[in-house]
Amino acid sequence: MKFIHAADVHLDSPLRGLERYEGAPVGELRGATRRACENLVELALVESVDFVLLAGDLYDGDWRDYNTGLFFTHQMARLQEAAIPVLMIAGNHDAASQLTRVLRPPENVLVFSTRAPETRILEPLGVAVHGQGFPTRAVTEDLALTYPAADPDLFNIGLLHTSLDGRPGHESYAPSNLAGLRARGYDYWALGHVHQREVVAQAPWVVFPGNLQGRHARETGPKGCTLVRVEDGQVTDLEHRALDVVRWSVCTVDLTAVTTLDAVYDRVEPALRAVLPAAEGRLSAVRIRLTGACGVHGRLHAEREQVVNDCRALAGSVGAGDLWIEQVLIDTRGTASVPAGDDALGSLLRAIEGLDLDPPRLADLAAEVADLGIKLPLHLRSGAEGFDPAATPYLQDCLEDVKALLLDRLLGQHRDPDGDRRPAK
């Protein structure tokens, strides 16, 4: 017997926060979750699996229109033609209270109740699947406590959307624990909600397959589903199958001792080239993080837009359309000292360099920009990559940019045509 365990498809997730610029593959990125879903169906057909489990968050919230539901029903119809049943539960993103539009699924799709646990038996296979979906987005009780005991004559699977005992970056929904899951006596727990693949235990098997497609730079590496093989009532093999079409990565570039922008790009280029093989032929979405103590710290901040676009142009030449720069983070430190003269300029330069945002100043500044944040569209403020102009990291980053720009201008330096810096006349 073979089955697929998948979760957190987040179909038609808007992938908020993506920057639009010339050459950015916005269309490919926005269609990534659909293509990953198609890959899931194709895998089920190629492997001739006996059934598919979807452990919650098939959707990303209420549909903008019916096209999301129509796409899913079309994909499930492909499985119906192959007589492959699909058993699914609702998670926090597609809880019963979250969806105002619904479509009748094909007959092969079995959706578990959100009111109480129920059991679906696949008689020809000798399998019992126990599960319950989320009635509301924020389920705080342990749903597994009321799941029925295992049927000793069947292979028992628990289908559950849960934070388990907590995972970084995930809301504590339907919390549970390993001891509670083991108490049910099941052979396999098919979990969802946590986007990082994890085999929590093997006796019994307790598995998070991770999400089907990474959606931002905190969801790096291969994404997909788990293919499970069972013989004589025992799990014999678990295999992760990558189904993503866009592979996210964070590329950290150490600029220690670098003194020119040309040297910056000399370090960025090989780092970008090293990213490509890990994408295995997929579009590689990269967040560049520049670190280290270097002589171009101030210039990187003062000329941020130039640096970002130079990196994007470099990615275009390195990746030939297979490499996309999502963001460039400048986390460097300066090495040059401000002139120690006692004249007015020296005093001003030292004052600028010493600028800092202590807690009272931060609170005052945050209050001043809070109204701006409220006026921003909801889709810009929400989600994993939501923008908050009053957030402490953003305000501190802005201060670093301002300091670098002021110091750069007051020191009277600029670039010559060859990229070197020389005093302004």
Tokens of 359: 């807690």
Phi-psi map region of 168: left, alpha, beta (phi>0 left; psi -120 to 50 alpha): beta
We report the CATH number of the domain holding residue 106 as 3.60.21.10
Given this model, what pLDDT does residue 415 score?
41
Range of the domain at 136: 2-242
My answer on whether 211 and 284 are in the same domain is no
Given this model, what pLDDT does residue 413 score?
47
My answer on whether 235 and 253 are in the same domain is no
Q: Does residue 147 have a pLDDT over 80?
A: yes
End position of a domain, from candidates 225, 242, 259:
242
My answer on whether 234 and 250 are in the same domain is no
Q: Which residues pair with 254 in a beta bridge?
A: 291
Given this model, what pLDDT does residue 419 score?
44
Which of 189, 175, 193 shows the shortest CA–CA distance to 238? 189
Given this model, what pLDDT does residue 288 score?
96
* 2 and 49 Cβ atoms separated by less than 8 Å: yes
My answer on whether 231 and 251 are in the same domain is no
Given this model, what pLDDT does residue 400 score?
64
My answer on whether 56 and 143 are in the same domain is yes
The dihedral built from the CA positions of residue 264, 267, 270 and 273, taken in this order, carries a sign that is negative
pLDDT above 90: percentage of residues in the chain: 60
My answer on whether 192 and 56 are in the same domain is yes
My answer on whether 167 and 36 are in the same domain is yes
Give the type of residue at 53.
L
- Residue with the bigger pLDDT between 397 and 202: it is 202
Identify the band that residue 103 occupies on the pLDDT scale cut at 50, 70 and 90. confident
Given this model, what pLDDT does residue 29 score?
85
Given this model, what pLDDT does residue 409 score?
60
Identify the band that residue 150 occupies on the pLDDT scale cut at 50, 70 and 90. very high
Identify the band that residue 98 occupies on the pLDDT scale cut at 50, 70 and 90. confident
Query: If you average pLDDT over residues 239-250, what whole number do you get?
Result: 96
Query: If you average pLDDT over residues 171-187, what whole number do you get?
Result: 93
Query: If you average pLDDT over residues 351-355, what whole number do you get?
Result: 56
Query: If you average pLDDT over residues 60-85, what whole number do you get?
Result: 93
Half-sphere exposure of 14 (CA within 13 A, CB side): 15
Identify the band that residue 349 occupies on the pLDDT scale cut at 50, 70 and 90. low
My answer on whether 233 and 253 are in the same domain is no
End position of a domain, from candidates 216, 242, 268:
242
Q: What would the pLDDT profile of 14-47 be if each residue is shown by its tens digit?
A: 765 566 676 778 788 889 999 999 999 999 999 9
pTM above 0.85, yes or no: no
Question: Which residues, 6 or more positions from 283, have their beta carbon under 8 angstroms from its beta carbon?
Answer: 25, 28, 29, 245, 246, 247, 322, 323, 324
My answer on whether 27 and 145 are in the same domain is yes
Give the type of residue at 199.
V
My answer on whether 336 and 221 are in the same domain is no
| Mean pLDDT value across the chain | 85
Q: Does residue 420 have a pLDDT over 60?
A: no
Count: domains in the chain:
2
My answer on whether 267 and 379 are in the same domain is yes
Query: If you average pLDDT over residues 188-205, what whole number do you get?
Result: 96
Q: Does residue 95 have a pLDDT over 80?
A: yes
My answer on whether 179 and 250 are in the same domain is no
Q: Does residue 323 have a pLDDT over 70?
A: yes
Which of 187, 191, 279, 283 shows the shortest CA–CA distance to 234? 187
End position of a domain, from candidates 219, 242, 265:
242
Query: If you average pLDDT over residues 348-364, what whole number do you get?
Result: 62
Given this model, what pLDDT does residue 15 score?
63
